[in-house]
Amino acid sequence: MPDFDVFAKDCPSRDMFAHVTGRWGALVLGRLRPEPQRFGEIRRQVEGISDRMLTQTLRTLVDDGLVSRYSAGTNPPHTEYRLTEVGASIADAVLRLADAVQAAMPRVAPGG
C-alpha cells in the first residue's frame, strides 16, 4: 500500500483533504453523520449553501467515496445520501474539530 502525505503537492490525498476541509464539504459530512438524509434535509441544516453548491459538494464527496447516493425506485424518486464507512470516520473527525472550535469561541471571540 503506498504512503500518502497531504503535505506533498502531488499526493492524491491532498485533493480529498481539500474536499473534506473545505467550507461546504466539512459541514455536509458533519450533518450526514447521524443518519442518511435527502437533499432538502441537508440544505435546511447547512444554512447558507445554495442548491448548486450542495449538488456539487455531494457529487464530489460521492466521487471521493465518502458519501453514497441511494435512489429508491419510487415515483417521484426518493434519493438519500449516506456516509460510507470511511466517510463516517472522517465525519467523526470533522465533528471533533467543530466541537473544539465551538469550545474555543468564548476565549477568542471579541468580548470573550
Mean pLDDT of the chain: 93
pLDDT computed for residue 72 by the predictor:
81
**pLDDT for 58-97, tens place per residue?**
999 999 999 999 998 788 888 999 999 999 999 999 999 9
Residues 6+ apart with CB under 8 A from 14: 6, 7, 8
Q: How far is CA 65 from CA 45, 61, 86, 102, in A?
A: 22, 6, 8, 28
Q: Percent of the chain having pLDDT more than 90?
A: 85
Distance CA 103, CA 109 (A): 11
pLDDT of residue 112: 59
Contact 52, 62 (CB under 8 A): no
Predicted TM-score of the model (pTM): 0.89
